[in-house]
Amino acid sequence: MASSSNIKIHEHIKVVPPSSNQTTSISLTFFDIFWLRFHPIEYILFYTLPNSQSDTSFFFQTIVPNLKSSLSLTLQHFLPLAGNIVWDFESQNPKIQYTPNDGVSLLIAESDLDFNHVIENSPKEAYLSRSFIPHLKSTNSFASIISLQITLFPKRGFSIGISTHHAVLDGKSVGIN
């Protein structure tokens, strides 16, 4: 989770697929297991807001609900992404498992940093970016597959920070090159 002083957390929710009652389980392959203990893949996408949509109320009343709804509807077609990687001691192989009410962690935040400075193509301190990337929950028996953070930069734009588990998704599989 973001812990920098330039971030204000508005909401932390779990986005679930609409009414899915099925349990899905997919075994990891030998090649997937290699990536099991690696750090998450993390990236940030930045979006500028047109002047007509740049006020804070429009962002929280229109854009955020639309993004939540889109995520939920998309997850119904990709149920495993809403689940977890689980490894119990009775089974030899870890697996991706989705059970009803599993979902994706979504953090809604606001930053007081200068959006233009954040997105400019120049070297910056790494801690500036860390505050826009969500934590991917992991224990000794399970790991989340994906976690998202939407951060508003008032009157300028917003970012979507994404953390994904390397055993399930990498830069190529999500279209980031």
pTM assigned to the model = 0.88
Beta-strand pair 95-98/104-111: unpaired
CA distance 162 to 132: 9
CA distance 149 to 138: 17
The answer to whether residue 47 scores a pLDDT higher than 80 is yes
What is the predicted pLDDT for the residue at 175? Answer: 58
Domain limits of the chain? 7-164
With b meaning 16 or more CB within 10 Å and e meaning fewer, what string describes 144-177?
bbbbbbbbbbeebbbbbbbbbbbbbbeeeeeeee
Q: Quick one: CATH architecture of 7-164?
A: 2-Layer Sandwich (3.30)
CA distance 53 to 145: 32
Question: Could you report the per-residue pLDDT of 113-157, keeping only the tens digit for each?
Answer: 999 989 998 888 887 889 999 999 988 888 999 999 999 999 899
Contact between 54 and 173 under an 8 Å Cβ cutoff? The reply is no
What is the predicted pLDDT for the residue at 173? Answer: 62
The answer to whether residue 3 scores a pLDDT higher than 50 is no
